[in-house]
Amino acid sequence: MDIQNGIKCLVAYAYKTGMIEESDIIWALNSIILNLKLDEVTSTKDLVIAEADRIAFDSEEASEIGENVAEGFVDDGSYLENVLKELNDYAVSEGLTDGESVVYRDLFDTKLMGALTPRPSEVQDMFSALYEEDPKIATDWYYTFSRDTDYIRRYRVKKDLKWKTATDYGDLDITINLSKPEKDPKAIAAAGKAKQTGYPKCQLCCECEGYSGRADYPARENHRIIPIEIQGQEWGFQYSPYVYYNEHCIVLNTHHTPMKIDKSAFLKLFDFVAQFPHYFVGSNADLPIVGGSILAHEHFQGGNYEFAMAKAPVEREFTAPGFEDVRAGVVKWPMSVIRLSGEDTGRIAELADHILGKWRGYTDESAFIFAETDGVPHSTITPIARKVNGEFQLDLVLRNNITTEEHPLGVYHPHAKLHHIKKENIGLIEVMGLAVLPSRLKAELAELKDAMLSGKDIRSIESIEKHADWVEEFEDDYYKRGIDIDESNIDQILQDEIGKVFMHVLEDAGVYKRTPEGQAAFDRFIKTL
């Protein structure tokens, strides 16, 4: 593909996906050659339109992929990926970027896509018009738009490894996420030498919209945020560029203000669900270890997906005095979850606030539950709201971040035995039953598979030695059951065993264990309500 053909194809893609109109084509061609520092363009409007007509027949695979299809056209991202690769190769060869790593290539091709992405006002007007018709139609369009503009890089997302593992708690979702590119050493070094700036304050700030990025900060020229009102305040609605699950959205305060779980937070969650009843929404907890990665900016995460926790049944009900109009119960889940249900969101929020207040001040030394030590608070809640069969639900996941010498990363955190698979904090997404596992596992599993099939000593291989105890344990189990591990079943077995590890991760993170003693301790707390 020569550079002029690449320019034609990129503009044709923008026209085909509705990012630009026919009357914008010449302007779009000139906008791209400006960024490529070229003096002329050889394509005409007619050539661009002809290429756009051809695109639909270029990707048979794409026609079977994707949802929320606009005007019968779906691209799985492969067409755009190929075009952007050629334009990036040209930019690298001509010295138009600061380097050839994925960091600089992402910065450059985002600039190209930004030149073709409609202005925020146009996007907001379209969303508002569609919302008046139906909230789901509006989010369908916006999700497709976010992928078409390459803000969500579909060709990376589809490479993520995903499967389900059946457990006593339902089918857990397991993902090894490869969408988020890893920075190379040169980019890291360049970022260290670059002038430090506090703009934007974080990657959740509205100032990211249209930001050109830098070596240590992703480009967002193709990013558009939808303004919404939450409890009388200005908030923003957008999608996550890394898409851990279907329509993974982020709801963010337009002000850079810290995360806080309180009655107001519960009401905000319900306000969002009332506006978008086909979505769930939840919040990370507001303390380190049990919270999310960005505690400095108030935000929620939601989407159009039903997690295993949402499907889990209430195994025993209880009534909180004074709140007889709100149904309450303990959910059958490895973590400690109270589910509240009813039609009056105000009353549910009041009971949730009552439970939160009791939990923050609750100590039960026999169950190793401490509200605080040395004046440092340990207890909080991870809340998730949704609408089910016309009723509102609020799941309250009890969290505690106490540490000990034995468990320096957290008592209610994945224990050391499981760190070979999952060491990171258990945030909102994992709480609901979706494992977000580190990308290193892709290579490690391939090496582990080879070692197991060839009979190599796993302990002698530095990169996978950490998995040795785990492998020996489950190999022994399969041997006792008379099952040979071979080429025909090893992939399934590795996936199943990783899923079981994640189940144990969630059990470690549960403050009340799934034992008679643990559940009795849970009931002691409930009686304080």
pLDDT per position as a tens digit, 167-185: 999 999 999 988 766 555 5
Q: Is 221:110 a contact under the CB 8 Å cutoff?
A: yes
Question: Quick one: pLDDT at residue 314?
Answer: 98
Within 8 A by CB and 6+ apart from 423, the residues are: 409, 414
Report DSSP state, residue 24.
Answer: G
Question: Quick one: pLDDT at residue 509?
Answer: 97
Query: Rounded distance, CA 400 to CA 289, Å?
Result: 9
Q: What is the separation, in whole angstroms, between the first and last Cα of the chain?
A: 68
What residues does 341 pair with on adjacent strands? 327, 393
Q: Does 70 have pLDDT greater than 50?
A: no
pLDDT bin (cut points 50, 70, 90) of residue 190 is low
Question: Quick one: pLDDT at residue 371?
Answer: 97
Query: What average pLDDT score do residues 38-58 get?
Result: 89
Average pLDDT, the chain: 92
Run of H or E residues at 330: strand 327-331
Q: Does 71 have pLDDT greater than 70?
A: no
- The pTM of the full predicted model, rounded to 2 decimals, is 0.92
Within 8 A by CB and 6+ apart from 395, the residues are: 282, 309, 310, 331, 337, 338, 339, 340, 383, 384, 385
User: DSSP alpha helices (H): ranges in 101-203?
Assistant: 102-116, 120-133, 135-148, 154-157, 185-193
Residue carrying structure tokens 């980019």? 187
Strands 337-342 and 391-400: antiparallel
Q: Does 197 have pLDDT greater than 90?
A: no
Query: What average pLDDT score do residues 394-406 get?
Result: 97
With CA atoms as reference, report the closest residue to 396 among 235, 512, 298: 512
Question: Quick one: pLDDT at residue 157?
Answer: 85
The one-letter amino acid at 336: S
The one-letter amino acid at 32: I
Query: What average pLDDT score do residues 338-357 get?
Result: 98
Greater model confidence, 66 or 148:
148
Q: Is 198:209 a contact under the CB 8 Å cutoff?
A: no
Q: Does 150 have pLDDT greater than 70?
A: yes
pLDDT bin (cut points 50, 70, 90) of residue 159 is confident
Query: What average pLDDT score do residues 267-294 get?
Result: 94
pLDDT bin (cut points 50, 70, 90) of residue 72 is very low
Cα Dmax for the chain = 77
Query: Rounded distance, CA 263 to CA 357, Å?
Result: 10
Run of H or E residues at 35: helix 25-35
Burial 374-391 (b: 16+ CB within 10 A, else e): eeeebbbbbbbbbbeeee
Q: What is the pLDDT of residues 487-508, one digit of tens each?
A: 999 999 999 999 999 999 999 9
Greater model confidence, 197 or 415:
415
Query: What average pLDDT score do residues 283-311 get?
Result: 93
Q: Which two tokens stand for residue 228?
A: 């919404």
Question: Quick one: pLDDT at residue 187?
Answer: 52
Q: Does 467 have pLDDT greater than 50?
A: yes
Question: Quick one: pLDDT at residue 192?
Answer: 52
Question: Quick one: pLDDT at residue 191?
Answer: 52
Question: Quick one: pLDDT at residue 78?
Answer: 85
Q: Provide φ and ψ at 448, rounded to 5°.
A: -65, -45
Question: Quick one: pLDDT at residue 73?
Answer: 52
Query: What average pLDDT score do residues 415-441 get?
Result: 95
Question: Quick one: pLDDT at residue 54?
Answer: 86
What residues does 187 pair with on adjacent strands? none
